C-alpha cells in the first residue's frame, strides 16, 4: 500500500495534540527506505522524524524503539512515541528526535572514540521478554549457510567460489571458541556512513536501529572497519573505547562473513533477479569482496 501524504500529515497534526506539543506542525517527505518512509516533522520548535512502515512487520520499528529508549539520547536519537497500524494510521509508525549533522566517511580518533563509547553502551541493553533473538552462534551459522542458497543462479565458477569460501568459513568459524568468549550484547548490524551522524560539536550519533540482535562486539567492529577503513589511530581509539578484548582474527572472521554476504547479495541481484543496471562495476565490486574474504580467511587459517 502506498502512503497517502494527506493522511500522514493529518496524523502528524493529531499526534502533536495527543502528545501535548504546541506550535505549527510541518510534515514533509524526507527519505525513502526499503522498509519505511521517513518524514521530516517539525512541531513548533521540536525537530523530529516520523518513520512510517511499508512492511507488515512491527518487529523492525518496535525493536528500534526499544533500543533507543534504553540508549536514552546517549549516542542515538531520543525515541518520542511509536504505534502499531490501526484506525489512526494504517501503517506502523515511530516518532524520533531529529539530529542535524553530516555523515562522516572517515573517522578521526575522536569520532572513533565517540562511536566506540556508544557500542560499549549496547552491552547493557535489555529487551522485552516477548522479543526473541537468535543466539550469537545461531546468528553466525545463518551467515555461513545463507549465501550458498541465495547464489544458486550464478554461473558455476562463481558458485564454486562461494562454496569454497564457505567451506573455509565452516573451518574457521569457532576456532578455540573465540566467538563464545566475547562479551554478548546488542549488535547494530549496519554501521555504514549513512547510519552515522556527526554534529557540529563533534558528537557521534548512530541512526537506523531497525535490525538489532544479540551478538558479539566483533560484528559491529568488523562493519566499521569494512565501511570506514579507519586509520590506525582511529582504529585503536575505537577498540579502546569499546572496552572489550577482541581477538584480531575474530574481527577478521566477522569481516570475511560480511564480504561474503554482500557479494552474495550482488550475485543474487545480478543473476537471480536479472537486475543489471549497475554494469560491470557491480561485478567488479563482487569480485573484490570475494577476494577480500579469501585474504582474511587465509590469514585466519595460517594462525
Q: What is the CA radius of gyration of the chain?
A: 21
**Domain containing 37: what range?**
5-97
In the predicted structure, residue 128 carries a pLDDT above the cut 70: no
263 membership: H or E segment, kind and range: helix 248-267
| Rounded average pLDDT over 54-61 | 71
Q: Does residue 102 belong to any structural domain of this protein?
A: no
Least confident of 70-74, 112-116, 128-132: 128-132
Q: Does residue 104 belong to any structural domain of this protein?
A: no
- 118 and 140, same domain (yes or no): yes
Q: DSSP letters of 179-206? A: TTTSPEEEE-----GGGEEE-TTS-EEE
Contact 211, 131 (CB under 8 A): no
Mean pLDDT, the chain, integer: 83
- 71 and 113, same domain (yes or no): no
Among positive and negative, which fits the CA dihedral 271, 274, 278, 279?
A: positive
- 43 and 176, same domain (yes or no): no
Contact 263, 293 (CB under 8 A): yes
CA–centroid distance for 129 within its chain: 22
pLDDT value, residue 287: 87
- 262 and 163, same domain (yes or no): yes
pTM of the model: 0.84
In terms of pLDDT, which residue wins out, 262 or 142?
Answer: 262
Query: What's 18's domain CATH number?
Result: 3.30.200.20
- Please state the domain count of the chain: 2
Q: Does residue 20 belong to any structural domain of this protein?
A: yes
Q: CA–CA separation, 46 vs 67, rounded Å?
A: 21
Which residue, of 41, 74, 97, is where some domain finishes?
Answer: 97
- 144 and 58, same domain (yes or no): no
pLDDT value, residue 71: 86
User: 248-267 vs 136-150: helix axis angle to the nearest 10?
Assistant: 30
State pLDDT tens for residues 233-269.
Answer: 999 999 999 876 677 888 888 898 889 888 888 887 7
| Rounded average pLDDT over 94-114 | 95
Q: What percent of the chain has pLDDT over 90?
A: 39
Q: Does residue 266 belong to any structural domain of this protein?
A: yes
State pLDDT tens for residues 200-240.
Answer: 998 999 999 988 877 778 889 999 999 999 999 999 999 99
Contact 59, 212 (CB under 8 A): no
pLDDT value, residue 196: 96
Q: Does residue 38 belong to any structural domain of this protein?
A: yes
Which residue, of 97, 127, 156, is where some domain finishes?
Answer: 97
State pLDDT tens for residues 144-173.
Answer: 677 767 777 777 777 788 888 888 877 776
Query: What's 151's domain CATH number?
Result: 3.90.1200.10
Q: Does residue 78 belong to any structural domain of this protein?
A: yes
Give CB contacts under 8 A, 24+ apart, made by 75-78. Answer: 75/114, 75/117, 75/118, 75/121, 75/204, 75/205, 75/206, 76/118, 76/205, 76/206, 76/207, 76/209, 77/49, 77/205, 77/207
SS (H, E, C) 153-179: CCCHHHHHHHHHHHHHHHHHCCHHHCC
- 26 and 160, same domain (yes or no): no
Q: What contacts 133, CB < 8 A, 6 or more positions away? A: 127, 213, 214
In terms of pLDDT, which residue wins out, 56 or 220?
Answer: 220
Least confident of 32-36, 67-71, 91-95, 260-264: 32-36
Q: Find, among 172, 15, 175, the residue nearest to 89 by Cα.
A: 15
- 114 and 88, same domain (yes or no): no
- 91 and 133, same domain (yes or no): no
Q: Find, among 107, 158, 123, the residue nearest to 291 by Cα.
A: 158
Which residue, of 35, 67, 97, is where some domain finishes?
Answer: 97
In the predicted structure, residue 131 carries a pLDDT above the cut 50: no
- 278 and 168, same domain (yes or no): yes
pLDDT value, residue 56: 65
In the predicted structure, residue 174 carries a pLDDT above the cut 70: no
- 48 and 160, same domain (yes or no): no
Q: Does residue 103 belong to any structural domain of this protein?
A: no
Least confident of 44-58, 114-128, 273-287: 273-287
In the predicted structure, residue 134 carries a pLDDT above the cut 70: no
Q: What Cα–Cα distance (Å) separates residue 88 from each residue in 26, 41, 80, 300?
A: 19, 17, 17, 54
- 43 and 113, same domain (yes or no): no
Measured from the Cβ of residue 272, the count of other Cβ atoms closer than 10 Å reads 14
- 149 and 266, same domain (yes or no): yes
Amino acid at each position: 500500500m502506498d502512503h497517502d501524504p494527506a493522511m500522514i500529515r493529518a496524523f502528524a497534526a493529531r499526534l502533536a495534540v495527543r502528545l501535548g506539543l504546541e506550535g505549527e506542525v510541518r510534515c514533509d517527505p524526507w527519505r525513502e527506505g526499503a522498509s519505511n518512509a521517513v518524514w521530516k516533522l517539525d512541531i513548533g520548535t521540536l525537530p523530529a522524524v516520523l518513520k512510517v512502515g511499508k512492511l507488515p512487520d512491527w518487529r523492525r520499528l518496535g525493536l528500534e524503539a526499544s533500543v533507543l529508549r534504553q540508549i536514552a539520547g546517549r549516542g542515538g536519537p531520543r525515541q518520542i512515541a511509536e504505534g502499531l497500524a490501526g484506525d489512526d494510521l494504517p501503517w506502523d509508525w515511530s516518532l524520533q528526535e531529529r539530529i542535524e549533522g553530516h555523515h562522516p566517511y572517515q573517522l578521526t580518533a575522536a569520532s572513533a572514540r565517540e562511536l566506540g563509547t556508544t557500542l560499549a553502551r549496547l552491552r547493557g541493553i535489555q529487551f522485552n521478554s516477548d522479543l526473541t533473538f537468535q543466539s550469537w552462534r545461531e546468528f553466525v551459522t545463518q551467515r555461513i549457510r545463507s549465501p550458498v542458497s541465495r547464489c544458486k543462479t550464478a554461473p558455476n565458477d562463481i558458485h564454486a567460489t562461494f562454496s569454497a569460501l564457505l567451506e573455509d568459513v565452516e573451518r574457521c568459524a569457532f576456532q578455540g571458541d573465540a566467538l563464545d568468549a566475547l562479551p554478548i550484547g546488542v549488535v547494530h548490524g549496519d554501521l555504514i556512513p549513512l547510519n552515522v551522524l556527526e554534529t557540529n560539536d563533534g558528537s557521534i550519533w548512530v541512526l537506523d536501529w531497525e535490525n538489532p540482535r544479540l551478538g558479539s562486539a566483533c560484528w559491529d567492529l568488523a562493519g566499521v572497519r569494512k565501511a570506514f577503513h579507519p586509520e590506525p589511530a582511529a582504529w585503536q581509539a575505537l577498540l579502546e573505547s569499546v572496552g572489550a578484548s577482541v581477538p584480531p582474527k575474530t574481527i577478521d572472521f566477522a569481516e570475511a562473513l560480511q564480504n561474503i554476504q554482500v557479494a552474495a547479495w550482488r550475485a543474487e541481484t545480478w543473476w537471480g533477479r536479472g537486475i543489471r543496471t549497475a554494469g560491470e562495476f557491480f561485478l567488479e565490486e563482487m569480485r573484490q569482496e570475494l577476494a577480500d574474504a579469501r585474504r582474511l580467511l587465509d590469514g585466519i587459517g595460517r594462525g
